[in-house]
Amino acid sequence: MQTAPAHTSDRQNLLEVTSLFFKLGLTAFGGPAAHTAIMHNEVVKRRRWLSDQEFLDLLGATNLIPGPNSTEMAIHLGLRRAGWAGFFIGGLGFTLPAVLMVLGLAWLYVNFGNLPQISGVLYGIKPVIVVIILQALWDLGHKVLNRPFPILVAGLVLGSYFLGINEVALLLGGGVIFALVTNLRELSLRKQGFALLPLAGLNLLSTTSSLPFSLTSLFLIFLKVGAILYGSGYVLLAFLRADLVVRYGWLSDQQLLDAIAVGQMTPGPLFTSATFIGYLLGGLPGALLATLGIFLPSFFFVALSSPLIPRLRGSKWAAAFLDGVNATSLGLMAAVTWHLARTSLVDLPSLLIAGATFGLLAKYKINTTWLILGGALLGGVITLLR
């Protein structure tokens, strides 16, 4: 009697990972929360690859490392199911379809973006995106800002951002300070109050620079963002605006919001906005380097953290650091939403689109994809009627 080769099951597992995550890469709209729910349904309920508790352990691990959480979940699940081959296929399968879609939209934008039809579509999408960000900010706020200290941290970050303090210092400093204050109860209240002062002495104020554009600089900027960004994908706005709009002047606020809108219009992670921006600034090489830069740290951090998940799950310090980073992220989100709203809500029709989006989200919880498509349709119609 012949038996199947030992590697048959490994090959089958890899085929399952490939099939699932390429399918999700083509169809998973709605942002990280929706992506997580879809993955849970697919790998726990339908395929029974792992238990609910194992899934929650992986989800907790992704929250403790920077980068796009849903992409990191795909990488973790691929690794768990099919080893190191699944590690790469899971991440690539989930991101590659969206990258290709965004690349095509970037080409259309560069070549036809000034046509009334295209500008009208973007005109209608932008108010929808602002409301979606506000809703995410509100939903996350209920979970994170549930005690006085997180509210204080978020408020201080919001004010500090407008004073020009570097967002990296705010993000990491907020996490460290939150962990110290939470865990070192012997610290006096006075020391806790002065804990944020060292941030002001780091000489990391955001300043405008005339750094010439280069592909190397572009890659390093997105590598930095991918390596340090915690929280919702919308916090990406704060980091990219600080570097690409304020410091170097490579993009306008309008172009940045267009990039975020395109990332939201397509399935997969919002971080594919990097592909759009890279193409805008450096053509196909820029798109490839920006995409590589922002996603590469996710693979590194998953590989590094996967063996440590049991320890991370029970770490009070890691949990407190994450709470601080989440509170800081909400402050950054609030600050950048203010800037984007000023460039999007510019007249009565745009305000009406935003109001309708808010009502539909609040009452019917409509999928954001349909809202974006509706905004695009209305924007095109309004532009044609003018």
Query: What pLDDT shows up at residue 330?
Result: 82
In whole angstroms, what is the distance from residue 285 CA to residue 305 CA?
31
> How far, in Å, are 32, 57, 72 from residue 312 at the CA level?
21, 9, 16
DSSP assignment of 193-228: HTTTHHHHTS--B-----PPP-HHHHHHHHHHHHHH
Residue 253 makes CB contacts below 8 A (sequence gap 6+) with 241, 245, 339, 340, 343
Query: What pLDDT shows up at residue 86?
Result: 95
Domain-by-domain residue ranges, the chain?
A: 98-385
pLDDT single digits (tens) 314-354: 678 877 887 887 788 788 878 878 877 888 898 999 999 99
Q: For 229-315, where are the alpha helices, taking DSSP H only?
A: 236-240, 253-265, 273-305, 309-313
Helix (H, G, I), strand (E, B) or coil at 208: coil
Six-digit token string for 116: 């009334």
Query: What pLDDT shows up at residue 343?
Result: 82
In whole angstroms, what is the distance from residue 45 CA to residue 41 CA?
5
In whole angstroms, what is the distance from residue 245 CA to residue 342 CA?
15
Query: What pLDDT shows up at residue 121?
Result: 79
Enumerate the β-bridge partners of residue 165. Answer: 205
Six-digit token string for 265: 């219009």
List, run by run, the mean pLDDT of 10-residue segments along the chain (386 residues): 52 93 84 80 89 82 82 94 94 95 92 72 84 79 83 88 79 84 61 42 48 91 90 74 90 88 84 95 96 96 84 73 80 81 89 93 79 87 86
> How far, in Å, are 77, 199, 271, 300 from residue 70 at the CA level?
10, 31, 10, 15
Find the helix or strand (DSSP H, E) in which 355 lies: helix 348-364
Q: Tokens 């689109």 map to which residue?
A: 353
Neighbours of 34 (CB within 10 A): 16
Q: At residue 176, what is the residue type?
A: V
pLDDT single digits (tens) 171-210: 788 888 888 888 875 454 444 444 443 443 444 444 555 6
Total length of the chain: 386
